[in-house]
Amino acid sequence: MQAAQRYPLPVGAAILMVISLLFWLIGHVSLANWGFLLVILAGALRLFWQTIRHVLHKEFSVDVIALLAIIGSFLLGQYLAGAVIVLMFSGGEALEAFAVRRARASLAALAQRVPQTAHIWQGEELVSIPADQVEVGMEVVLKPGELAPVDGVVTAGTSSMSEADLTGEPFPVRKAPGMLVLSGSVNLDTILEIRAQKRSTESKYAQIVHLVEEAQHQKAPIHRLADRYSIGFTALAIGLAGLAWVFSGDALYALAVLVVATPCPLILATPIAIMSGIDRAARNGIITKSGASIEQLGEVDIAVFDKTGTLTLGMPKVTAIVRVQPETQYTEALEKTTSTRCAQHALYDEETLLRLAASIEQLSTHILARAVVELAQERGIPLCEADGFEEIFGKGVRGWVPLHRQEEQGTQGKGGQKHEKIEVAVGNRTFMKYLSIAIPPSFLEERQRRVNSGQICSFLAISKQIEGLLVLEDVPRPEISRLSADLHTAGVKETILLTGDNEVVAQKIGKLAHVDRVVARCLPEDKVRIIEELVAQKHGVLMVGDGINDAPALATATVGMALGTQGLTAAATTADTVLLSTDILRVARAVRLGRWVMHVARQGIWVGMGLSVIAMFIAAFGFIPPTVGALLQEAIDAVVILNALRAGRGSLEGRAIQPTTPSEDQKNASFEQPQTRVAHSHLSLEEGHQ
């Protein structure tokens, strides 16, 4: 019943043909012909209006051959042949629609799994509440087998989690305290407690659902690759039919030629292959918003990349802690500007410096503060409670923290008093000046050297003295050394890095990624201009980016691909495709998928055209009657359909490329902090911690 509602013409035609064949078998030929005639009229009327629409849009389609064959069958009384053509043609459209539904179902399955409830503690009782009532900062309990309702950070417990439905990554990820959990990921092992970082409507899963809904509502224009050959093929079919009629004197010869030339194989080859590709892309963590995106992916020959958040992780990490060294020059400088008490140096080990800094930074929401806290959590360093917290946003933070943890020296100091706390400050030069803290010349020189190479620096002061320099950088994705090689193997001729960073930083990341060309200091309009020039030169351009300032370039490129790993941005909304995986090498996989899909589609077209042309010549000599020709065309259809379904299978891996070990250059490479996050656009390399 549901199939009849979705595909009324092919289902109705099939039922009528079965009834008509039964009448024909029992000798009621006239009744059988009436059934076949009804099928012909229904099919011809629909095809006629489709052809009119194509003409009004100034499009030429191979559908005209099918229309001529149906009309010819009606005029010559070959009702069975005409009915078979209608069934074949409408059945092909139904298969195409089914392929579309199946591919989109792979995307819609994500939306159907939206987490509905969350568990929280109310006193000693674990209660369930609607997921949309979870607020930022709430502690959520995640049981084994459940979906995470919100994005959050693990606060207690360790467990393996599956992110396969989010990113396409097949292997579970082990989660421990301090690590990020994405909404929609599945808890596989034991109970976890996570602190919500976003509400459910703003979490990763909600963003993916939004993308899916956007893809579902796209008209998804499928460009019929076969229509590129439609004029020549149609001319050949009509010309051969005319010659067969002239030389034989029998119109049935011409009809037989048109019947076997009915272009269902050509019409089916591309859409079924493309929809199989969309389905496969979804299973690999790649959302394609239209069939045209897959086709265009198969034609790109230049890949253009943004840097921050694309070739790099897009989030600063603490990569070094420079400790103070006793030096006479520093002591003399301090004696001129500060009291003798401040000039007395205390040397702290790296773990102590990190603990003190992170204990203060945990109270800040700044992106650089989060990087400091994450490093302390990764190293398993317990943090302390800070008092007197003060933050000047854009400058730095300070507060009072115990020098030693209470469990190290007892909960009380001498005389029963709590252990004394010391003042800790983390910030840029302006913040240090605001606190009247002198910066040693050696630290100013070290900071300048690192800033020139693209790193971010924050001063760490303890008891009004500079004791360390926190060095942060936007680190490259570990797999980028393979990216260009994988893309070249996939058929891309040139890879280009377009970045707003300075030449030094741009060349470093370009060298690590082995791109063919690097263009530094690019404003958004410069990226658009360069891509427009490439498109004007008839190149198929793939643009990969993730930031808001990448949106114009993504819209200008032949295919725009956004990395959705950092959240739903204007880039993901503008792009033709969205990569949900954190693995940048899947860009090459997407290109190989596009190549494979179009290879299968072209193969189907040429096989279908070749078999049809052979059958046309045989029919022109009268060896194939119209009815047999219609059945023969069904067999050709089956061959093309089976071939098109191959687009959803087969290996997408190119020549094996062994991952390289990070070089010293890569370990020590410096990178500018993200400039594509609107919420943190105030960050400055000149000032470091803001």
Structural domain ending residue among the three candidates 523, 545, 580:
580
Q: Based on the domain organization, do 19 and 60 belong to the same domain?
A: yes
pLDDT for 222 equals 45
Please tell me the predicted confidence (pLDDT) of residue 530. Answer: 93
Q: What pLDDT shows up at residue 683?
A: 35
Q: Within a domain: residue 271? A: yes
Residues 345, 439: one domain?
yes
What sign does the CA torsion over 673, 312, 159, 166 have? Answer: positive
98-119 as b/e: b if 16+ CB within 10 A: ebbeebbebbbebbeebbeebb
Residue 611, domain member (yes or no): yes
CATH number at residue 536: 3.40.50.1000
Kindly report, residue by residue over 167-190, the tens digit of the pLDDT. 545 557 788 888 888 888 888 878
425 with 521, same domain? Answer: no
Return the CATH number at 390: 3.40.1110.10
306 is catalytic: yes
Write down the pTM of the prediction: 0.65
Q: What is the pLDDT of residue 288?
A: 81
Q: Based on the domain organization, do 307 and 332 belong to the same domain?
A: no
Do 293 and 318 reside in the same domain of the chain?
Answer: no
Give the pLDDT of residue 661.
35
Whether residue 25 sits in one domain with residue 97 = yes
Tell me, what's the pLDDT at 626?
85
**How many domains does one find in the chain?**
3
CA 405, 396, 455, 551 torsion: positive or negative? Answer: positive
pLDDT of residue 48: 75
* Whether 504 and 602 share a structural domain: no
pLDDT value at residue 49 = 76
* pLDDT value of residue 571: 57
pLDDT at 419: 60
Same domain, 364 and 494: no
Q: What percent of the chain has pLDDT over 70?
A: 75
User: Does 53 fall in a domain?
Assistant: yes
Last residue of a domain, one of 580, 606, 623: 580
Q: Do the domain assignments include residue 124?
A: no
Give pLDDT, residue 401: 92
Distances (CA, A) of 221 to 148, 280, 590: 36, 19, 19
Q: Give the pLDDT score at 372.
A: 92
| Residue 550 contacts residue 543 (beta carbons within 8 Å) | yes
**Nearest CA among 373, 369, 395, 364 for reference residue 684:** 395
Helix (H) or strand (E) holding 384: none
Residues 456 and 349 in one domain: yes
Residues 509 and 569 in one domain: yes
Cα(578)–Cα(565) distance, integer angstroms: 9
Candidate list 306, 474, 546, 550, residue with the active-site label: 306
Please report the beta strands in 22-134, taking only residues with DSSP state E, as ranges in sequence order: 117-122, 125-130
Q: Within this chain, do residues 505 and 615 fall inside the same structural domain, yes or no?
A: no
Q: Which domain holds residue 14?
A: 2-109+224-278+593-648
Which residues does residue 545 pair with via DSSP β-bridges, in sequence order? 562
Mean pLDDT, 10 residues at a time, the chain of 690 residues: 63 78 80 81 76 65 74 82 76 65 56 77 87 89 88 89 63 80 84 88 70 50 56 83 90 88 68 79 79 84 89 84 64 45 61 92 84 89 89 86 65 49 91 91 88 85 92 87 92 91 85 93 85 92 80 85 63 74 86 89 83 89 86 80 77 44 36 31 38
Element at 261 (helix H, strand E):
helix 251-261
Same domain assignment for residues 337 and 271: no
CB atoms within 10 A of CB 364: 20
Phi, psi of 577, rounded to the nearest 5 degrees:
-135, 155
Q: Sign (positive/negative) of CA torsion 41, 43, 48, 53?
A: positive
Q: Mapping DSSP to helix (H, G, I), strand (E, B) and coil, where does residue 38 land?
A: helix
pLDDT of residue 103: 53
Q: What is the pLDDT of residue 100?
A: 57
Give the number of other Cβ atoms within 10 Å of residue 170's Cβ.
Answer: 9
Does the residue 635 lie in any domain? Answer: yes
